[in-house]
Amino acid sequence: MKVLIVGGGGREHTLAWKIGQSSKVERIYVSPGNAGTSRIARSVSIEPTDIDALVDFACKEGVDLTVVGPEAPLVKGIVDRFEKDGLMIFGPSKRAAQIEGSKVFAKELMRKYDIPTPNFEVFESPNEAIEYIEAKGAPIVVKADGLAAGKGSIIAMEVEEAVKAVETIMVHRIFGDSGNKVIVEDYIEGEEATITALTDGNTVVTLASSQDHKRIFDDDRGPNTGGMGAYAPAPVITRELSEQITQRIVTPTINAMEAEGIPYKGVLYAGLMVTNDGPQVLEFNCRFGDPESQVVLPLLRADLLDLLIAISDGRLDEVGCEVDTRAAVCVVIASGGYPGSYEKGKEISGLDQAEELEGVVVFHAGTKTERDKILTNGGRVLGVTAIGKDITTAIDRAYEAVRRISFEGMHYRQDIGYKALKRLQEG
Q: What is the DSSP pairing of strand 211-212 with strand 191-199?
A: unpaired
DSSP 49-98: T-HHHHHHHHHHHT-SEEEE-SHHHHHHTHHHHHHHTT--EES--TTTTH
Please, which pLDDT band fits residue 219 given cuts at 50, 70 and 90? Answer: very high
Give pLDDT, residue 425: 83
> Average of pLDDT values for 22-37?
98
Q: Which of 298, 370, 318 is nearest to 14 (CA)?
A: 298
Give pLDDT, residue 410: 98
Query: Do 98 and 106 form a contact (C-beta atoms < 8 A)?
Result: yes
State how far the Cα of 187 lies from the Cα of 141, in Å rounded to an integer.
6
Q: Is 23 left (phi over 0), alpha (psi -120 to 50) or beta?
A: alpha
What are the φ and ψ backbone dihedral angles of 226, each rounded to 5 degrees? Answer: -75, -10
According to CATH, the superfamily of the domain at 191-318 is ATP-grasp fold, B domain (3.30.470.20)
Query: Do 257 and 99 form a contact (C-beta atoms < 8 A)?
Result: yes
Cis peptide, bond prior to residue 279, ω within 30 of zero: no
Give pLDDT, residue 29: 98
State how far the Cα of 112 lies from the Cα of 104, in Å rounded to an integer.
12
pLDDT > 80? residue 427: no
Most distant CA pair in the chain, distance: 60
Looking from the CA of 281 toward its CB, the CA atoms found within 13 Å total 31
Q: Dihedral sign, CA of 274, 9, 410, 39?
A: positive
Give pLDDT, residue 426: 78
Query: Do 353 and 404 form a contact (C-beta atoms < 8 A)?
Result: yes
Mean pLDDT is lowest, of 14-23, 64-73, 78-87, 220-229, for 220-229
State how far the Cα of 99 lies from the Cα of 255, in Å rounded to an integer.
13
Helix (H, G, I), strand (E, B) or coil at 149: coil
State how far the Cα of 28 lies from the Cα of 158, in Å rounded to an integer.
49
- In the chain, the amino acid numbered 377 is N
> Average of pLDDT values for 40-64?
98
Helix (H, G, I), strand (E, B) or coil at 235: coil
State how far the Cα of 213 lies from the Cα of 334, in Å rounded to an integer.
13
Distances (CA, A) of 312 to 21, 61, 83: 19, 20, 10
Among the four given CATH numbers 1.20.210.10, 3.30.1490.20, 3.40.50.720, 3.90.1150.10, the one describing domain 125-180: 3.30.1490.20
Q: Using one digit for the tens of pLDDT, what is the confidence trace for 342-390? A: 999 999 999 999 999 999 999 999 999 999 999 999 999 999 999 999 9
Q: Using one digit for the tens of pLDDT, what is the confidence trace for 193-202? A: 999 999 999 9
pLDDT > 90? residue 320: no
CA-based radius of gyration for the chain: 21
Our measurement of the distance from residue 187's CA atom to the centroid of its chain's CA atoms, rounded to an integer in Å, reads 22
Query: Do 275 and 190 form a contact (C-beta atoms < 8 A)?
Result: yes
Burial class (CB in 10 A: 0-12, 13-18, 19+), 127: exposed
Domain ranges of the chain: 2-95, 125-180, 191-318, 327-426
**Which residues, in sequence order, are CB contacts of 258 under 8 Å at separation 6+?**
201, 264
Q: What is the CATH number of domain 2-95?
A: 3.40.50.20
Q: What is the CATH number of domain 327-426?
A: 3.90.600.10
**Which residues, in sequence order, are CB contacts of 251 under 8 Å at separation 6+?**
204
> Average of pLDDT values for 101-109?
98
Give pLDDT, residue 150: 75
